[in-house]
Structure 1
Amino acid sequence: MKLNRRLFLGTGAALTATLSAPAVFAQSKPRVVVIGGGAGGATAARYIAKDSDGAIDVTLVEPSRTYFTCFFSNLYLGGFKDLSDIGHTYGKLASDYGINVVHDWAVDVDRDARTVMLAGGATLSYDKLILSPGIDFVDGAVPGWDVTAQNAMPHAYKAGSQSELLRAQIEAMPEGGTFAMIAPPNPFRCPPGPYERVSMVAHKLKQINPTAKILVIDPKAKFSKQGLFEEGWTKHYSGMIERIGPDFGGDNVSVDPAAMTVDIDGSVESVDVCNVIPAMKAGRIAEIAGVTEGNWAPVNAADMSSKADPDVYVLGDASAQGDMPKSGFSANSQAKVCANAVRGALTGSKVFPARFSNTCWSLIHTDDGVKVGATYEATPEKIAKVDGFISQTGEDSALRKATYEESEGWYAGITADMFG
Structure 2
Amino acid sequence: MTFNRRTFLGTGVAAAAALQAPMVLGAAKPRVVVIGGGAGGATAARYIAKGSKGAIDVTLVEPSRSYYTCFFSNLYIGGFRELSSIAHSYGKLASEYGINVVHDWAVGIDRDAKTVTLAGGAWLPYDRLVLSPGIDFIDGAVGGWDVTAQNKMPHAYKAGSQSELLKAQIESMPEGGTFAMVAPPNPFRCPPGPYERVSMIAHVLKERNPTAKIIIADPKPKFSKMALFQEGWANHYDGMIDWIGPDFGGDIVSVDPGAMTVTIDGEVTKVDACNVIPAMKAGRICEMAGITEGNWAPVDGRTMQSRLDENIHVLGDACAQGDMPKSGFSANSQAKVAAMAVRAALTDSKMFPAKFSNTCWSLIGTNDGVKVGATYEATEEKIAKVDGFISQTGESGELREATYEESIGWYAGITSDMFG
TM range (shorter): over 0.9
Q: CA deviation at 1:183?
A: 0.1
Trace 1:80-119 onto structure 2 (pairs within 5 A).
80-119=80-119
Question: Residues 78-128 of structure 1, C-alpha deviation per residue, up to 9 Å, x if partnerless?
Answer: 000110000000000000000000000000000000000000000000000
Paired residue for 2:22? none
Partner of 2:140: 140
1:160 aligns to what? 160
Structure 1 position 236 matched with structure 2 position 236: yes
Q: Which residue of 2 aligns with 1:258?
A: 258
Distance 1:298 1:351 in 2: 21
The equivalences for 1:70-89 within 5 A come to 70-89=70-89
- Three-state SS of the structure 2 residue aligned to 1:417 is helix
Q: How many angstroms apart in 2 are the aligned matches of 1:412 and 1:199?
A: 23
* TM-score calculated relative to the size of structure 2: 0.94
What SS class does the counterpart of residue 326 from structure 2 fall into?
Answer: coil
Give the secondary-structure state (helix, strand or coil) at the position aligned to 1:387: strand
Secondary structure, in 3 states, of the residue corresponding to 2:361? strand
1:284-340 superposed Cα distances (whole Å, 9 cap, x missing partner): 000000000000000001010000000000000000000000000000000000000
Separation in 2, partners of 1:89, 1:213 = 38
Q: How does 1:265-414 map to 2 (within 5 A)?
A: 265-414=265-414
Amino acid of the residue matched to residue 178 of structure 1? T
Structure scoring higher RCO (CA < 8 A, sep ≥ 6) equals 1
> What corresponds to 2:48 in structure 1?
48
Q: Give the letter for the 1:257 counterpart.
A: P
Structure-2 separation of matches of 1:301 and 1:39? 17
Aligned-partner residue type, residue 225 of structure 1: K
1:400, distance to aligned residue in structure 2 (A): 0.3
Q: Write the distance in 2 (CA, Å) between the matches of 1:409 and 1:108.
A: 38
After TM superposition, give the deviation of residue 70 of structure 1 in Å.
0.2
Describe the SS at the equivalent of 1:299.
Answer: strand
Other-structure match for 2:7: none
Q: What is the match of residue 151 of structure 1?
A: 151
Q: State the alpha-carbon separation in 2 of the partners of residues 206 and 84 from structure 1.
A: 25
1: CA distance, partners of 2:102 / 2:176: 47
Letter of the 2:312 partner, please give it. Answer: V
Letter in 1 for 2:313: Y
Give the Cα separation in 2 of the matches to 1:365 and 1:303: 39
Quick one: which amino acid aligns to residue 132 of structure 1?
A: S
**Residue pairs, 1:215-230, within 5 angstroms:** 215-230=215-230
Instruction: Supply the AA of the counterpart residue of 1:250.
Output: G
Q: Distance in 1 between matches of 2:261 and 2:218?
A: 16
* Cα displacement string for residues 40-97 of structure 1 (whole angstroms, at most 9, x for unaligned residues): 0000000000010000000000000000000000000000011000000000000000
Secondary structure class of the residue paired with 2:300: coil
In structure 2, C-alpha distance between the alignment counterparts of 1:82 and 1:146, rounded to whole Å: 29
The CA distance in 2 between the partners of 1:92 and 1:208, in whole Å, is 40
Amino acid at match of 2:45: A
CA distance in 2, matches of 1:195, 1:246: 16
- In 1: Cα distance, 2:78 partner to 2:241 partner: 15
Q: How far apart in 2 are the matches of 1:282 and 1:47?
A: 23
**Cα distance between partner residues in 1 of 2:204 and 2:29:** 52
SS at match of 2:74: helix
**Deviation of residue 27 (structure 1)?**
6.2
Corresponding residue for residue 62 of structure 1: 62
User: What are the superposed Cα offsets for residues 338-374 of structure 1, whole Å, 9 maximum, x if unpaired?
Assistant: 0001001000001111000000000000000000000
Q: What amino acid does structure 1 have at the position aligned with 2:333?
A: S
Query: Counterpart of 1:31?
Result: 31
2 CA distance for matches of 1:355 and 1:216? 36
Identity %: 79
Write the distance in 2 (CA, Å) between the matches of 1:294 and 1:264: 28
Tell me the distance in 1 between the aligned counterparts of 2:124 and 2:255.
Answer: 42
Code of the aligned partner of 2:173 = M
Question: How far apart in 2 are the matches of 1:262 and 1:233?
Answer: 22
1:171 and 2:168 correspond: no
Query: What is the one-letter code of the residue matched to 2:157?
Result: Y
In 2, the alpha carbon distance for the partners of 1:336 and 1:405 equals 25
**AA partner of residue 187 (structure 1):** P
Whole-angstrom CA distance in 2 between matches of 1:269 and 1:229: 24
One-letter identity of the residue aligned with 1:121: G
Instruction: Give the TM-score normalised by the residue count of structure 1.
Output: 0.94
Secondary structure of the residue that 1:418 maps to in structure 2? helix
Partner Cα separation in structure 1 for residue 275 and residue 218 of structure 2: 12
Q: Which runs of 5+ in 1 are unaligned?
A: 1-25
Structure 1 Cα separation of the partners of residues 415 and 216 of structure 2: 31
Q: Distance in 1 between matches of 2:279 and 2:27?
A: 47
The one-letter amino acid paired with 2:240 is M
SS at structure 1 position matched to 2:400: helix
Structure 1 counterpart of 2:388, which letter? Answer: G
Distance 1:397 1:266 in 2: 42
